[in-house]
Each structure stands twice: as C-alpha cells, then as structure tokens.
Amino acid sequence: MINKNLIVYLLILIFGLAAPFVFPAFKVQLSILCVLIILAITWNIQGGEMGYNSFGNILFYGLGMYLCASVQVGMFFPLAEWTESGGEKTFVHTPAQFFQGFGVGLAVAAIVPTIVAGLIGYSILGLRGHYFAICTLGLGVAAGEISGGIEIIGAGQGFTTPPFPNIGGLEARGEFFYFCSFITLVLTFVAVKSIYSTRFKLVLNAIRDNEDKAEAMGIQTMKYKIIGWMISAFFCGLAGGIMGGLVGYIDSTDVAFDGREMGVFMVLMAILGGKGTLWGPVIGATLFHIFKEGFWTFFLGWQYVALGVLIVVIVIYFPEGIMGWLREKYPERFGEVIDEADRKAQVELK
Amino acid sequence: MDLLIFQAPILMVQASMDGILLGILFALIAYGMALQWGVMNIINIAQGDLVILGGYIAYFMYLYGIHPAWGVIVSPIIMYFVGIGIYKLVINKVVDRDLFISILATFGISILFMQLMNFAFGADVVLANSGYGTTMLFDSSVVLPNSKIFAAIISIIFAIGLVIYMKKSKLGRAIRATAQNARAAKILGVDTEKVYAATFGINAALCGVAGALISITFTIHPYMGLPYTIRSFMIVIVAGLGNLPGVAISGMGLGVFEEFADYILGTEFRIGSVFLLLVLILVYRRFKLSKKREYLK
C-alpha cells in the first residue's frame, strides 16, 4: 500500500519536473496552476479542516505580493523613485541583484503575513460562522482599497516588479518562475500532509465539528486556530510573492487584493474538489484551472458571468465536491466499513 | 490627511447634514437586509447589486425622457419581480442550508449581476439628473442639493409605509410569524414558501427604491454594489435584528462617519474606511461578548 502511494507521488513529482520541458508553451499556465493549488490547499486549512470560512486569505496573498516586490526593489534602489518612474527602465537589476532580492523578498513575503495573521488572529478568530466570513471579506476589500491609496507602492497606477535579467530570455524566465512555484507547491503539500497526520489536524476537526465541546475537553482552541491561520498565511504569502514576479505588474484591486478573482477562486476550488480533504483542493484547483483556461476564451468577456453561474451551481448542487461525491460512491476506498445488510435496510426505508 | 474640516467648523455642519441624509438611504437598504436576515436567515451579498440595478432602472427612465423621480414608483415594481425570480431560481435552495452556503451563493449572484450590468449599461459612472436645484443654509455656506432632501423624505415614507404594512396586513403578519418561528407558522397554515418569496421580493423592491434615489442623488456604477452590502450588514449588526429605530440611527451614524472620513482621510480612503470600520465593529463586539464568554451568533 505504501509502495503504491510512493509510486504515485514519484510519478507526479517526475511529471512536475519534466512538465516545462514537455509542454514549453504552457510554462506560465503551469506556474499559475501551482499557485492556485497552493492557495486552495491553504484555504482548506481553515475553510475545510477548521470550519472557518475565510474570504480574507487574499489579504496575505496580496501582502506577500507587495512585500516581495518592494523588498526586491528597495534593497538596491529607492522605492519611491521606482514607483514614480512607473516601469521606466531607469534602474536595472543585475542578475545577482535580481535573484538575491527575489530570495530575500520571498522570505519577507512569507514571514510578515505570518506575523500579521498571528497579530490579528486573536481578534478575528474570536468571531464565528458568517460573522467571520463577512469580517474577513471586509478585511480583504479594505486592504485593497487602502493599498490603492498609498503612494510609495504605486497607489492607483500600480507597481511594476523588477523585470527578469537578460539571461536566456523568456524561456529562462518561465522556467525560473515555474520551478519557484512548483517547489513551493511541493513544500506546501508536504508540510500540509505531515501536519494532517498529527494531532493538530484532529484538533482542527474538533473545532470544526463543535468548538464549545472541544474547549470543554480542555483544548485551547484559540491557540490552534491562530496557528492554523498562520500556517496558511505563510504559504499564501509565498504564493503571492511568486505570482507578483510572474505577472510582473501589481495593481491594488485587480492583481494583489483581487477579492473578485483570486479571493473567490480559492474558496471555489477547495469546495469544487471537496473541502476537508488533502487531495480535494489539488483536484479542484486543477479542474478549475483547466476549465478556466479552456473555456474562458470562448466566453470572451462573459467569463465573470460564467464564474457567477459556476459559483451558484457548485454551491447549490455540488457542495460536497468531487472528493465528497467519490466518498459517497466508493466509501470502501476511504476506509469506511459498510454493513451491507444495514445499507440495504436503509435503501428500503427510503 | 486634510485638516481643513477642523479649521472651518461650518464644514462639519455640511458633512453632518450630508451624512444624515445619506444615512437615511443606507438605513432603507439595511431595513431590507434585516428583513430577509430575520425571516429567512440569509445574508444576501447581492443586496448592493440589487440597489445598483434599481438605480439603472431610474437612469433608463431618465434617458428616455421620463423624470427619474418616477423611478421611485417603477423601480420597486420591477425589482419585486426580479427578487421573486432570484428567489425561485437560487435562494429557495439555500434557505435551510448552512449560512456559508447562502453567503457564497449570493456572492455568485453578485458577481453575475455586476458583470451583466457592466455589459448591459456600460462601465461608465452615471447619474440621473433630477433638476431639483439646491437649498442654501447659513448664508449659503452649507449647500444641500434638494434631491438629497427628496431622497431622504421618500425613504422615510417608504420605511414608515412598510412598518405599517407589516403590522396591519395579512401578509405582514404572516411574515412576522414566520420570522418568530417558521415551523409553528407552517403548522398554523402559513405557506412559508410564499412568505419567503414575498420577503425576498419586498427586500428587492426596497433596494429598487433606494437605488432609484441613489441614481438621482449620487452616482451609480456596475461595480459599486459591494460597499452597499457591507454598509447594510454593518448597520444591521450594530442595531441588532428587529430593532427599527436602531437601524435608522446607526444608518445615519454611518453616513456621518463616512462624510467625515471623506473630509479627513481623503476620498480615496472612503470605501476602505467603511470596510475597516466593519472589521473594527465586529472585533469590538467580539471582545465585549468574550468577557461574558459568549460570541456573536
């Protein structure tokens, strides 16, 4: 059994490493797919396992994006002049500066959102259910609106991230960002998988199922909730930092704190795949991305209409997601023991 | 940071008057929100988009040469049926479900409406000119557009009319009974399905009125819906469900807050400050309740 799983993981890993060379035209798409999967997995930590449906994880994503780019620029050049020049190539990073800045930027992009999550976690995670959902929605939109008014990071006109140094051209750029996002995805998956095999996941599930009872059993729920949120903020920030470099241009409400796209996508992908499972978000994000890229071009301008319809349909008719549907269909595969006689009796009762 | 408002105190009067008149409009939208929340236990993220759609109805009447003030009559009638349509298609499938499902489903409706309006009416900021002129107060240092005063009066008339309707009419009594206990109401012969549909329709009609008024006093734009949802949500949680005077007062309070934020922080932070205020209010309530070891329910 273990061997079989190992083979599957190895195959995926090999596929992931070979993908940019096998499908060179889809490098950017594959990088975006990796980022989407990371976002879905991190959303699932609260939304699925902990039962705290957050619309505000986009806050960490956008924060990571702005921080990574700002650090990358600010380490070598004056930030205010950079944003004022608006993408004019007056300052050019040498390759060494670019990679050094990007590395430090990613570290900052991961750490600062984690700290932010820890700081606001105690206040925000005290809210429950729909109050939490609306509060985080407000948080995400407020962050977008406020960052759109701050001059030093480009305000309304946006922020151009440092262009990739002139080595190897577009191919090298695509490969660099693909491997960045793929390695982050692998790290995220491994981290989350190992977390899910510990007591920590059971505590999160206990909080989801009945928080008062979990507290009565002596679990310090607040501590675990904050840690859970910090973990997801960490990877969200990383994903944001990479995405900022990949897109090359940061706008407050359309790219960074894009509640209408990324903020909804991460919820939708996790629900589509099946929340509260390890593989659900991965499958959901992959299918969603394929659907999005495959059909968006046919809708041409109608994509948001399609998105709205998709949300409504998935939420109403498919709230358990693909993994939930599979679980209902093949319960044996999920380790559930079925008593055939009992099952027949139930069917007859219906 | 612009401190002009502290140097010229008359601006404070201006901001307060503007804020109160604006807040009455917010209270009308929040009233609809409270109604459906109380009766159907649904938080409708698409509330603001219904408002904007109502505004476009009035705007189109204006384009075709009818005075936009008639939108106050026409818009709620159309919006009532739009509301019933949304209820039949989507909402009736999420009424008894988890609240998160209803939030997400209405979020989907919101995105859908936003984009459909963007296609149908274009992405320009528009307003319907009522031609009502302005009123000057205090030696013409405070300027109030008559359209704002008109909007406030119409909102008050509609709100009072609805309160009386809820108290006296048969449907109003059925709605209140369903809000108190849906199961008991069902046992006593109330068709709750119809009540829910009517509630959502009335809510949409209220949004229609508010939207028509907004289109003649302020501006409308397809993407401006979400702030109205957040404002009405905020007003309802500050006032509490079923507290109508509270809704009116907190609506006006929010209006005044917004005008002051506009003057002090600058217009670019106006929407941001509304959303931030929501977060602060929720966090404040949470800390207050956690002293009693309770939480917001």
Given the structure tokens 């999420």, which residue do they identify?
Answer: B94
pLDDT at B52 over 80: yes
A344 and A264 in one domain?
no
Q: Which of A155, A182, A10 is nearest to A84 (CA)?
A: A155
Q: Which residues of B touch A262 (CB under 8 A)?
A: none
CATH number of the domain bearing residue A254:
1.10.3470
Which pLDDT does position A92 carry in this prediction? 73
Q: Which residues of B touch A51 (CB under 8 A)?
A: none
State whether residue A32 sits within 8 Å of chain B by CB. Answer: no
Domain with A49 in it: 27-317
Range B179-189 average pLDDT: 87
Of B112, B273, B296, the CB nearest to A127: B296
List chain B domain ranges: 4-290
Beta-strand ranges (E) seen in chain B are 134-137, 142-145
Contact at CB, B100 and A130, closer than 8 angstroms:
yes
Which pLDDT does position A19 carry in this prediction? 76
For residue A22, tell me if it sits in a domain. no
Of B103, B105, B114, the CB nearest to A312: B105
Contact at CB, A141 and B230, closer than 8 angstroms:
yes
For the stretch B243-272, pLDDT in tens is 788 888 888 888 888 888 888 877 778 888
For the stretch B220-234, pLDDT in tens is 888 888 888 888 888
For residue A123, tell me if it sits in a domain. yes
Pairs of residues, one from chain A and one from chain B, whose beta carbons lie less than 8 Å apart = 131
A333 and A303 in one domain?
no
Q: Which of A265, A287, A267, A286 is nearest to A275 (CA)?
A: A267
Per DSSP, the residues of A280-311 read HHHHHHHHHHHHHHHHHHHHTT-HHHHHHHHH
The residues, ordered by sequence, that sit 6+ positions from A93 with a Cβ below 8 Å of its Cβ are A72, A76, A101, A162, A163, A165
- According to DSSP, residue A166 is labeled S
Contact at CB, A126 and B287, closer than 8 angstroms:
yes
Task: Tell me how many domains chain A contains.
Answer: 2
Contact at CB, A141 and B283, closer than 8 angstroms:
no
Contact at CB, B283 and A131, closer than 8 angstroms:
no
CA distance A85 to chain B (A): 22
State whether residue A78 sits within 8 Å of chain B by CB. Answer: no
Buried-exposed string A106-129: b where 16+ CB fall within 10 A, e elsewhere: bbbbbbbbbebbeebbebbbbbeb
For residue A20, tell me if it sits in a domain. no
The pLDDT confidence band at residue B80, using thresholds 50, 70 and 90, is very high
A344 and A305 in one domain?
no
- According to DSSP, residue A262 is labeled I
Rounded CA separation B52/B211 (Å): 5
State whether residue A214 sits within 8 Å of chain B by CB. Answer: no
Q: Does the B4-290 domain belong in CATH 1.10.287?
A: no
- According to DSSP, residue A23 is labeled S
* Alpha-carbon A334 to chain mean position: 25
CA distance B115 to chain A (A): 6
For residue A192, tell me if it sits in a domain. yes
A344 and A219 in one domain?
no
Rounded CA separation B63/B215 (Å): 12
Which of B92, B107, B228, B294 to substitute to test the interface with A, most A CBs within 10 Å? Answer: B107
B→A contacts (Cβ < 8 Å), by residue, are 43, 90, 93-94, 97, 99-101, 103-105, 107-116, 119, 226, 230, 233, 237, 266, 268-269, 271-273, 275-276, 278-279, 282-283, 286-287, 290, 295-297
Residue in chain B closest to A56 (alpha carbons) equals B279
Which pLDDT does position A46 carry in this prediction? 85
A324 and A179 in one domain?
no
CA distance B109 to chain A (A): 6
pLDDT at B213 over 70: yes
pLDDT at B5 over 70: no
For residue A11, tell me if it sits in a domain. no
List the structure tokens of B24: 């009455």
pLDDT at B2 over 60: no
For the stretch A267-280, pLDDT in tens is 888 888 888 888 88
Rounded CA separation B278/B261 (Å): 14
> Taking the C-alpha atoms of A219, A221, A223 and A226 in order, what is their torsion angle to the nearest 10 degrees?
150
Which of B112, B269, B281, B288 to substitute to test the interface with A, most A CBs within 10 Å? Answer: B112
The pLDDT confidence band at residue B95, using thresholds 50, 70 and 90, is confident
For residue A189, tell me if it sits in a domain. yes
Q: Report chain B's C-alpha Rg in angstroms.
A: 19
Which pLDDT does position A234 carry in this prediction? 92
pTM of the shown model: 0.85
Rounded CA separation A50/A128 (Å): 11
Q: How many helices (H) and strands (E) does chain B have?
A: 13, 2
**pLDDT mean by block of 10 residues, chain A; 350 residues:** 76 81 80 90 87 86 88 78 66 78 88 91 84 86 82 72 74 83 90 89 88 87 90 90 85 76 84 84 88 74 79 84 81 69 69
Q: Which residues of B touch A318 (CB under 8 A)?
A: none
For residue A338, tell me if it sits in a domain. yes
Residue in chain A closest to B96 (alpha carbons) equals A316
Of B107, B115, B230, the CB nearest to A264: B107
